[in-house]
Amino acid sequence: RSSANRAGRQRSADDRPFCDSPEHTDGQSAPAGTRLEKTLRINETQGKKRNLPLSAQATGSWHPTHSNLSIRPAAPADSTKNKSSVIIIMNTLNQQYEEKVRPCIDLIDSLRSLGVEKDLALPAIAVIGDQSSGKSSVLEALSGVALPRGSGIVTRCPLELKMKRKKEGEAWYGKISYQSFEREICTEIDDPVDVEKKIREAQDELAGQGVGISDDLISLEIASPDVPDLTLIDLPGITRVAVKGQDANIGDKIKSMIQKFIRRQETISLVVVPCNVDIATTEALKMAQEVDPEGERTLGILTKPDLVDRGTEENVVEIVNNEVIHLKKGYMIVKCRVRRRSQRKCLLLKR
């Protein structure tokens, strides 16, 4: 037996791997951390052989026949290098976006401001929802400014929200414009806090004092390092019952206004639905399904997840998983800030 052991130890160097440390006595495994510095000859199928140069940390299993060598991947690269790679990729994407996508968005916005949308269908993203569904909160989260909100109808005119991303360090800029009695009103806004006030003033001029609505478009342009390059059209919330001061058919007027936007094939509908209501009874989603039965250009936005009744959480999960009312673009769930007057006068940057 000792002679056999000595013979085994005298095997040719060509028949065993070369390691920094001695081979285990059982001939089966090498210690973790072994560095392979020479070429291993590994048997392949049908007895063929090939040389594989290896220089890696081996932590796998060694077999007496050397027919297989299991090697785990080397340790991940330095996190700093990974971050640098991500930054390079993002910079490249941003450059491509600025060169190719941004000009298209600017062109569409310019055409819409000229009023050609009546004769030419332009791509758009329309935000719709039942009254008090949380549309304003979603738009505030994107734009970083406070918009009109409260009980009842607060969006009384279509609001075109044009957001343009600026470079870091550049100053915030805002502008509101609309057509009033065949003349264009254009006002620059220096302070984000004044946005809500300016929108309310524009709505009062176009729709009158009170709770009436108007088809006239209000355009709000915001340029800031904290906003995405995106243009959205916020439409009045769907109401079912007229309140004091409103026309009896105000519900039909709002639906007609919404249909004018979402029936166009070039429009993507963002349907805002609170998590604490039965999605099957949502009028906004019903309207979107009427013009987009396959759900190809409809995206569901679920709001107020903190108001979900205990025991109904599973229902919300099924909706998010697209198992209740199927939309090809699926659903997103968002949690916005609470309603506090002390927070209304801030930039909402925490969103």
Look at the domain 123-348 and name its fold: Rossmann fold (3.40.50)
Cβ count near 113 (within 10 Å)? 17
Pick out the chain residues at pLDDT < 70.
1-81, 83, 86-87, 90-91, 93-95, 97-98, 115-122, 337-351
pLDDT of residue 141: 86
Q: In this predicted structure, what is the pLDDT of residue 268? A: 93
Rounded to the nearest 10 degrees, how much is the dihedral formed by the CA atoms of 336, 341, 346, 350?
Answer: -30
The model carries a pTM of 0.65
The whole-number pLDDT of residue 25 equals 42
CB 35 within 8 A of CB 85: no
Name the phi and psi angles at 51, rounded to 5. -95, 130
User: DSSP secondary-structure letter at 306?
Assistant: G
Q: What is the pLDDT of residue 28?
A: 45
- Residue pLDDT, tens place only, 137-146: 888 888 888 8
* Domain edges within the chain: 84-121, 123-348
Helices (H), strands (E): how many in the chain? 9, 13
Short-list 299, 252, 306, 247, CA closest to 275: 306
Is the CB of residue 70 less than 8 Å from the CB of residue 80?
A: no
Biggest alpha carbon distance in the chain? 110
The crossing angle, in degrees rounded to 10, of helices 250-262 and 283-291 is: 40
- Taking residue 79's Cβ as centre, other Cβ atoms within 10 Å add up to 8
CA distance 143 to 135: 12
Q: What is the pLDDT of residue 64?
A: 41
Look at the block and give the residue holding tokens 């915030």: 172
Tokens of 178: 């609309």
| Beta carbons within 10 angstroms of residue 329's beta carbon | 15
